[in-house]
Structure 1
Amino acid sequence: MSRTVYLNGEYLPEEEAKVSIFDRGFVMADAVYEVVSVLDGKLIDFDGHQARLKRSLAELEIGNPLADEDYLTMFRELVSRNEITDGMIYLQVTRGNPGDRDFTYPPEDTPQTVVAFTQSKPGLADSPAAKTGWTVITVPDERWGRRDIKTTQLLYPSMAKMASKAKGANDAWLVEDGKVTEGTSNNAYIIKDGIIITRELSHDILHGITRAAVLRFAKEAQMKVEERAFTVAEAQAADEAFVTSASAFVMPVVEIDGVKVGGGKPGNVASRLREIYLDEMRKAAI
């Protein structure tokens, strides 16, 4: 059965959706994106993702073609038409099609391109990996300097992910100046002596929507949080480690570069944070 996708105001069978070869998203990666999870047919943290979408567009001086309520209507329509119970919605907004390739931006009245599609992931919140934990390797962070903007420039994270797969690991943590920045598509954390440690917000990392929610829930649960960079050695010597993202939620990390963390099993804090996050997000889903 073909998926129904959204393209510039139309709902189309996926094989009929076409974007120009001159679209800036195709030739320049001049685009931003968001991924919103769906649990029990409802959207998780929609407002947070919309706020970050608007920030990313503003940072790149790309116009925002739709109002929040239009995005919400479109997301719900895609969930309905594709009968999604658990899964994700991918949204991409590009600077549009100027009619040719050029390094300069097209005229301001060039319409943006808006694409969205669903990915069905039955049992998304019940991933077996949450019981066993992820293993990660570390690689140099060689991305551009504005990682806080959620652009479609994802070649290097993809290469890092493939490097992890080649070594039989689940993911890679990126390292710059001796400190962990983040994972290929997630924020990274360690826990030491009861303190949750994660890198502070800056241009160096993506301002994770799941990150914000998890840290808020942790503080509400009277857990201690310290926002600072940490080294690979610190991570390997930690009591626990984990990552957060819109699709992995809170995922324990049990091994870093072959060194077991916390005995090589998911720890109590990360597991509890996952429970709290899923419970609270399901309550607030729309």
Structure 2
Amino acid sequence: MTILLRNRPTRPEAPVTGDATAVLRLGDRAVADYTWRPDLPVALSPRPYLHPVRTLAGVTVTELMPDSHRHHLGVSVAVAEVDGANFWGGRTFIPGHGPAWLDNQGRQDHVRWLRRTDTRLSHTLRWTAIDGRTLLTERRDLTCRLAGPGAWALGYRFTLTNATAAPLPIRSPAAHGRTGAGYGGFFWRAPSGDCRITSPAGTGAEAVHGRRAPWLSVASDGWTLVFIAANPATRDDSWFVRTRDYLGIGSALTWDEPLVLDPGAAVTRQIVTVVADGTVDAGQAAAYAAALAA
């Protein structure tokens, strides 16, 4: 296969229509903005995202398009490679070469709302490659609810279905030999800074990165996020945890082996994230997981 390298992706830009945003609310508090129709450059692999996500006290716990990683979009579903198409944004990892700009950025587009209220957003999406092929269809459900004093829970459930007539491989860069780079799936870009990682597997990023755990918590100055693998398939996935250079947490759809979907086959993943003001200890994090996992 011939690999085409470019300085930047060259697909013509879509007409500028402006962002379209829905808001998740708990009472009179806006806890998360969901940009469901983003106006983004092709190079970022345009996709819906949550930002800002806020604690009940109003502290923002997401980052959007930071200078070092413009393709990090708050909270989103981002996949490094689906049958050669890049739904992560930025460069693509090529075995024996490293990261390179390819003309292969895909996009996720809203198709239809199924439900849209203050506490639940449900819609269908289409994942399209640069050549216009629909590779995946998706149903996505976002919910919010109070979780306890000073805390609320964001539910994020998505089902991806192979929309092609052939087996569809989903890969991370680790599947191409990039050690530790198993990212792809649910991904949360959090504000950078000192943080503490806790999980049943141990403390620190090294204890849980690339491993399974029913939950993990990230505590920073004034806030804590507790990520809960909320269905059996998600509990079988490994966590991606990055604290060096930036703070990013992901639940990996696949690590060092491709995930191959047969025609019409689907996978469902569900993450519940407790967004809390202050510090949440390990006991309370475990209690959240027990109460909120499906």
Structure with greater strand share of residues: 2
Regarding TM over 0.5, the answer is no
**Whose relative contact order is higher, 1 or 2, with alpha carbons under 8 Å and at least 6 apart?**
1
TM-score by length of 2: 0.27
| TM-score, normalising length: structure 1 | 0.28
Computing the radius of gyration from Cα coordinates, the structure with the larger value is: 1
